[in-house]
């Protein structure tokens, strides 16, 4: 399988899908530090800037177009006017790129807030645009804590397959989940993973996050702090053991997202990367184990329907 990635960040998709034998045709990212990470780990993959300028035949053909475009409100009239309307935002530009490149599969990710944005009309317009392009679609909110990492991180994933909604639904939904069985839940205060080691007197720790930011918020039974993410971009990276509070290290944040240790510790402007850009890039990333699960299920679908 060959894929193209937009709003690539530090490429959780590539870390997830490399063991499956998938190959990247291109990345697209405009932020300087994530670009440095991509150049370090994937020097052979073409690194585009603004993905809205990618032409239809500029890179090798792709089977999958993956991306988590920023959630910005946009005019439903933009889609009503058709995909030729130039007033759309990056979500619409993702659809326009799908129109140009025509992959079999779409994988789109966003925060749960997109479901209620503009009364749900924004999300409906995105889905409607995919259908307009001929994709059968399914969407689901997936939580990273159920994929083996020590944080609660709920994200909306949309999968589209060209011409058949059943292929998309089979990726995101296990057979038993279609019967309405709820996802399992852990009790508050119970340890959710041993990745970081240690425990508090209250019986463990868990990491949660704000749905509309990349912040990691620690709790030990109760939330210990709140913060202004814009004013204090580092202070969210804290963890508490038995009433002693410290910042999470960048390496711990890498583990929370399923990346290899020191994945973001790359040369940047002639010296090792500072902690600040590493925290930001990791907080904005997708969780690697969730992306691997999606990739595995797409692979299974491809093999099942191979002729």
Annotated active-site positions, please?
71
| Residue 206 contacts residue 151 (beta carbons within 8 Å) | yes
Please give the distance of CA 129 from its chain centroid, rounded to a whole number: 20
Alpha carbons 11 and 29: distance in angstroms, whole number: 10
Residue 53 φ/ψ, nearest 5 degrees: -100, 5
- Name the packing angle between helices 90-101 and 121-132 (round to 10°): 10
Contact between residue 33 and residue 306 where contact means Cβ atoms under 8 Å apart:
no
Work out the burial of residue 143: count CB atoms within 10 Å of its CB; fewer than 13 is exposed, 13-18 middle, 19 or more buried.
Answer: middle
Tokens of 184: 């399992």
d(CA 177, CA 261): 34
- What's the rounded Cα separation, in Å, for the pair 248 and 252? 6
DSSP symbols for 96-123 = HHHHHH--SEEEEEE-GGGGTGGGGHHH
> Residue 243 and residue 108: Cα distance in Å, rounded?
39
* 3-state SS assignment for residue 129: helix
């Amino acid at each position: 399988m060959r894929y193209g990635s937009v709003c690539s960040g530090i490429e959780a998709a590539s870390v997830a899908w490399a063991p499956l034998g998938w190959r990247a045709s291109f990345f697209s990212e405009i932020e300087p530090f994530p670009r440095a990470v991509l150049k370090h780990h994937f020097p052979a993959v073409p690194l585009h800037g603004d993905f809205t300028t990618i032409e239809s035949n500029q890179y090798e053909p792709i089977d999958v177009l993956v991306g988590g475009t920023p959630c910005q409100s946009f005019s439903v009239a933009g889609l009503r006017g058709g995909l030729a309307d130039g007033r759309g935002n990056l979500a619409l530009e993702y659809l326009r790129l799908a129109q140009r490149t025509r992959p079999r599969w779409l994988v789109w990710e966003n925060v749960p807030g997109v479901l209620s944005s503009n009364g749900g009309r924004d999300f409906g317009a995105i889905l409607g645009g995919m259908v307009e392009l001929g994709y059968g679609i399914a969407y689901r909110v997936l939580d990273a804590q159920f994929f083996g990492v020590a944080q609660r991180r709920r994200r909306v994933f949309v999968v589209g397959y060209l011409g058949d909604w059943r292929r998309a639904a089979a990726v995101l939904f296990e057979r038993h989940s279609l019967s309405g069985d709820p996802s399992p839940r852990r009790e508050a205060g119970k340890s959710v993973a041993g990745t970081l080691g240690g425990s508090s007197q209250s019986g463990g720790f868990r990491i949660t996050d704000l749905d509309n930011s990349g912040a990691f918020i620690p709790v030990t039974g109760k939330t210990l702090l709140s913060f202004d993410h814009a004013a204090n971009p580092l202070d969210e990276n804290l963890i508490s053991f038995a009433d002693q509070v410290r910042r999470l290290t960048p390496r711990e944040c890498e583990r929370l997202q399923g990346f290899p240790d020191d994945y973001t510790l790359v040369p940047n402007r002639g010296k090792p990367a500072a902690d600040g850009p590493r925290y930001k890039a990791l907080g904005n990333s997708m969780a690697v184990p969730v992306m691997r699960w999606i990739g595995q299920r797409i692979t299974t679908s491809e093999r099942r329907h191979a002729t």
